Protein backbone atom coordinates (compact mmCIF):
# COMPACT_ATOMS: atom_id res chain seq x y z
CA UNK A 1 0.00 0.00 0.00
CA UNK A 2 1.27 3.45 -0.94
CA UNK A 3 1.08 6.26 1.62
CA UNK A 4 1.50 9.90 0.58
CA UNK A 5 1.42 13.21 2.43
CA UNK A 6 -1.62 15.44 1.86
CA UNK A 7 -0.33 18.41 -0.19
CA UNK A 8 -2.30 20.84 1.98
CA UNK A 9 -1.82 19.71 5.59
CA UNK A 10 0.82 16.98 5.36
CA UNK A 11 -1.32 14.27 6.98
CA UNK A 12 -0.45 10.74 5.81
CA UNK A 13 -3.01 9.40 3.31
CA UNK A 14 -3.41 5.90 1.88
CA UNK A 15 -3.38 5.96 -1.94
CA UNK A 16 -6.32 3.59 -2.46
CA UNK A 17 -9.45 3.76 -4.64
CA UNK A 18 -11.63 4.05 -1.52
CA UNK A 19 -10.07 7.45 -0.77
CA UNK A 20 -12.03 9.66 -3.16
CA UNK A 21 -10.05 12.79 -2.18
CA UNK A 22 -6.57 11.41 -2.90
CA UNK A 23 -3.96 12.84 -2.82
CA UNK A 24 -5.77 15.00 -0.26
CA UNK A 25 -6.93 13.72 3.13
CA UNK A 26 -10.35 15.37 2.99
CA UNK A 27 -12.78 17.51 1.02
CA UNK A 28 -11.61 20.51 3.07
CA UNK A 29 -7.97 20.14 2.03
CA UNK A 30 -9.04 19.61 -1.58
CA UNK A 31 -11.06 22.85 -1.52
CA UNK A 32 -8.23 24.81 0.11
CA UNK A 33 -5.93 23.72 -2.74
CA UNK A 34 -8.53 24.62 -5.38
CA UNK A 35 -8.95 28.05 -3.78
CA UNK A 36 -5.20 28.62 -3.91
CA UNK A 37 -5.22 27.90 -7.66
CA UNK A 38 -8.22 30.22 -8.13
CA UNK A 39 -6.40 33.02 -6.28
CA UNK A 40 -3.34 32.41 -8.50
CA UNK A 41 -1.13 31.53 -5.54
CA UNK A 42 0.38 28.75 -7.67
CA UNK A 43 1.99 29.30 -11.04
CA UNK A 44 3.31 27.09 -13.79
CA UNK A 45 6.65 28.32 -15.19
CA UNK A 46 6.62 29.34 -18.82
CA UNK A 47 7.43 32.11 -21.24
CA UNK A 48 6.07 35.56 -20.48
CA UNK A 49 2.97 36.70 -22.35
CA UNK A 50 3.88 38.38 -25.62
CA UNK A 51 7.22 36.60 -25.77
CA UNK A 52 8.83 36.24 -29.20
CA UNK A 53 8.30 32.47 -29.11
CA UNK A 54 4.52 33.05 -28.77
CA UNK A 55 4.61 35.25 -31.88
CA UNK A 56 6.55 32.60 -33.80
CA UNK A 57 4.00 29.92 -32.93
CA UNK A 58 1.15 32.17 -34.06
CA UNK A 59 2.80 32.61 -37.47
CA UNK A 60 3.08 28.83 -38.09
Identify the sign of the CA torsion 14, 2, 12, 20: negative
Residues 16-33 pLDDT 10s:
999 999 999 999 999 999
What range does the domain containing 28 cover? Answer: 3-55
pLDDT at site 53: 59
Residues 1-19, mean pLDDT to the nearest whole number: 94
> Which residues contribute to the annotated binding site for Zn(2+)?
6, 9, 25, 29
Residue 32 within any structural domain of the chain: yes
For residue 37, give every residue at least 6 positions away whose Cβ sits within 8 Å of its Cβ, in sequence order, or none: none
Q: Give the predicted TM-score (pTM) of the model.
A: 0.66
Distance CA(60)–CA(53), nearest Å, equals 11
> Which residues contribute to the annotated binding site?
6, 9, 25, 29
pLDDT at site 48: 76
For residue 32, give every residue at least 6 positions away whose Cβ sits within 8 Å of its Cβ, in sequence order, or none: 8
Residues 24-59 pLDDT 10s:
999 999 999 999 999 988 888 888 777 665 555 555
Residue 60 within any structural domain of the chain: no
Residue 22 within any structural domain of the chain: yes
Kindly tell me if the per-residue pLDDT of 4 is higher than 70. yes
Instruction: Assign residue 21 the CATH number of its domain.
Output: 3.30.50.10
Cβ(32)–Cβ(8) below 8 Å: yes
**Number of domains observed in the structure of the chain:** 1
Amino acid sequence: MTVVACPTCGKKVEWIPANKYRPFCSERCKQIDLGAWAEEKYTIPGAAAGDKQDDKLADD
